[in-house]
Chain A
Amino acid sequence: AIQLTQSPSSLSASIGDRVTITCRASQGISSSLAWYHQKLGKPPKLLIYDASILESGVPSRFSGSGSGTDFTLTISSLQPEDFATYYCQQFTSYPYTFGQGTKVEIK
């Protein structure tokens, strides 16, 4: 199974900060990667798919990049509603594994 490793596991940031989360795959996955965020007690929400395509309705402060084994999710200016846990997921081969998550907390 393809393993996805996110870094950092958690971070503290302030409103307005630029935040970057990385996701590294154990083998190449082309651009078959999605990003989600999840708030406590809620289902995950799709942010980015195909590594860099912004899901409809998602604010433009979110962006994704990368291909192969290294991927990045960037939040250009952190907003209060962005404090959540972020997950990447690969769609290249079964099982469709998730990263372990990155918790973004208020500094």
Chain B
Amino acid sequence: QVQLVESGGGVVQPGRSLRLSCAASGLTLSNHGMHWVRQAPGQGLEWVALISSDGSLEYYADSVKGRFTISRDISKNTLYLQMNSLSAEDTAVYFCAKDYGGLDYWGQGTLVTVSS
């Protein structure tokens, strides 16, 4: 049974950094592309980033390019999102999700609040 569990969210001051984790079980990250998607409070879904199944390719939304980095640790079967230079506009629930044409498995999300 596939399970994705995000962690690492919390309250952070503007300009600071945070790293989110997504621990995967029931699947092997090296076999799948993985995404981060976020949702600001009361708003719609925003695609954030993708890492390819072989880990060689990364893609980002324009709103996070140059500030966020997606990565993974195959030995830990864990996906990461390093977020730097955070601003209030980055406040959202962050979901990790598995790629399969659509995104077929999602975690429950972790809330990031950027506030002074």
Q: Interface on A for B, CB 8 Å cutoff?
A: 1, 34-36, 38, 42-46, 48-50, 53, 55, 85, 87, 89, 91, 94-101
Contacts and interface: CB of A to CB of B under 8 A. Distances in A.
Contacts of A100: 44
A8 B52 CA distance: 34
Contact of A95 (B47, B95, B109): B47
A98 B97 CA distance: 14
Question: Interface residues of B: mostly helix, strand, loop or mixed?
Answer: strand
Contacts of A45: 106
Nearest to B109: A43
Which of under 10, 10 to 19, 20 to 34, or 35 or more describes the interface residues of B? 20 to 34
Interface of B: 35, 37, 44-47, 50, 59-62, 95, 97, 100-104, 106-109
A36 B46 CA distance: 13
Nearest to A32: B101
A41 to B, nearest CB: 9
A91 B108 CA distance: 22
A95 B59 contact: yes
